[in-house]
Amino acid sequence: MTDLSTLSTRRGPFVSAGVWLLLICLLALWAATVDPRVGFAQAHNPAAGAGVHAAARSKQERSDIARFGERVQAALALTGNDKAYWGLVISDAETGEVLFSLNAGRYFMPASNAKLFTTAMALATLGPDFHIRTTIESAAEPDSSGHLQGDVVLVGRGDANLSNRVIPFVEHPEHNGPPEKALADLADQVVAAGVKEISGDVVADDSYFAPERYPPGWGIDDAVWSYGAAVSALAINDNFISVDLRPGATIGAPLVYSAAPWPGIYEMRNDTLTTAAGTEPMLRLERDPDSQTFHLTGTLPLDAPARQLQLAVSQPAENAAAILMQLLEARGVRIEGRSRARHGDRNARPQTPSTMHVLAEHKSPALLEDVRLTNKLSMNLHAELLLRVAAREKAGATTMDDALAFAAQFRQSIGVAPDDVQLTDGSGLSRGDLVTPQSVVQLLAYALRQPWGPDFVATLPVAGQDGTLENRMRGTAAAGQIHAKTGLVEHVDSLSGYATSRRGAHLLFSIFGNNTGTKMRDAANVVDSICVAMVEELASHAENRAAPPAKDRGPAPSNQAQRQISR
């Protein structure tokens, strides 16, 4: 049972394109002079993973790092946060020098920071302009009377945007038309191809991937909601159903609900009541794993605004087939058969498909636009599909194990140590995921050196402006200066990405908080305060070369923070 009473449902430039092109050139020159297995500044020893910060011995004279360290120590010492486990790495994007490090080589649960590895891999292996085809096919063509002998088959290949979402994403998510709009467009093409009658079934084929709907480490509760929707090569409306709930007309009346897209293969049991205005809402949802029944109970006051629930679809291909059959029948197509799914075999290798006649085709947006959605809005299903599509297209992988092996090989190819990253999914929802802060910063540096590097930076949320950072760091020095991926699951808060300081420093950073026993907002405030301190304090490499050395200030404050936190 899930308590619903607590549920709720400007992109600014990082730096100019010219500056980033210069940075990419500098990074490329720097990369040629270092061991790629080290990743950042050879003086930084990953084996010193307890987190001795890189500036402790060689950069004690830098007053900007000392001030920053004091502010970090103060933030982490706040009541509640002092019991959490924290990791932090900040690197100079121009030189690769590690400026500050805390528990850099230790494992942390990354939450959605894992999407950085997935989206960078997708761009590197598939390319920003890659497109995915979704087709409706048949063994025969319709005859002159419009009769089609046999089945019509909806073939999915991992497009995450078979919905009504407006693309490209700009500042805020937008939608146009019904949630099944992309599938309706395909149905229109079938009718335009002359089909009036189908003697067989409407089949949804998701055999492009093996039938493994939930990655290891996902929880049972995750599968109820849209953020934990089942993974399939067919994903209609992100594999969830939107249920809008409104109070009834009178006290004691059941709540009024509407659901879309509604495939007709599920049952909604509505045992809710409308209560007097001003009373506390008490909505609950019950759903057993793989059950076809959603059971709503509880109350909503007469004066309450509408509530929306996004309920995950547990059988995506069956869902897609049922919706397509509805759409075809609504367009006057007579169907003699039924809707059904066709799944792959986990133990079989991909087979060369037989020749089929294509009745309709949908082409996905460019992959870069899906990466933007995935990172800006932290779309779990999209990340899972990016992982599987890349592995399927480039290595013929159909199983999750093979996809994860493909991703691990990619990380090794860019110099990330194999034992620095242990991922069991593509999105970070798995509680079995572990990464080190230094591996994330190494990935960020790699991405920045690629031709698509500036585009990758632009896919990340901007502090105080858009995506999952829209309402964070507003009105601070960090607003508009942080492009970073958020990560949030219970007792985990993470943020990794790129920053530009007030003093002209271009920075790569990764911040992790695990075992955060305080309220989620408290942990996020710590992360945000570290970002503000980073933007306000840290100076550029050029400024520090020109500045005279400061007097010895004693042991670096972040060493003190290290001793307090890494016990």
Residues catalogued as catalytic: 112, 115, 378
Query: Quick check: 465 and 479 in contact, CB under 8 A?
Result: yes
CA-CA-CA-CA dihedral for 550, 551, 556, 560, to nearest 10: -140
Distances (CA, A) of 422 to 109, 126, 213, 386, 566: 10, 22, 20, 18, 21
Residues 6+ apart with CB under 8 A from 28: 449
DSSP string covering 160-180, please? EEESSB-SS-BSB--B-S-TT
- Going by C-beta distance under 8 Å and a sequence separation of 6 or more, which residues neighbour residue 362? 133, 134, 135, 159, 162, 182, 185, 186
Separation between Cα atoms, residue 552 and residue 56, nearest integer Å: 12
The one-letter code for the residue type at 336 is E
CA-wise closest residue to 506 among 553, 533, 542, 463: 542
- As to burial, measured by CB atoms within 10 angstroms (0-12 exposed, 13-18 middle, 19+ buried), residue 37 is exposed
- Encoded tokens for 31: 């990369």
- Angstrom CA distances, 494 to 202, 399, 450, stand at 44, 29, 24
Sequence-distant (6+) residues with CB within 8 A of 114 are 383, 423, 425, 426, 427, 428, 433, 435, 487
Instruction: Find the helix packing angle between 367-377 and 380-395, rounded to 10°.
Output: 150
Q: Which of 379, 356, 370, 214 is nearest to 310 (CA)?
A: 379
| Residue 278 φ/ψ, nearest 5 degrees | 90, -10
Where is 116: in which H helix or E strand?
helix 114-126
What's 539's DSSP letter? B
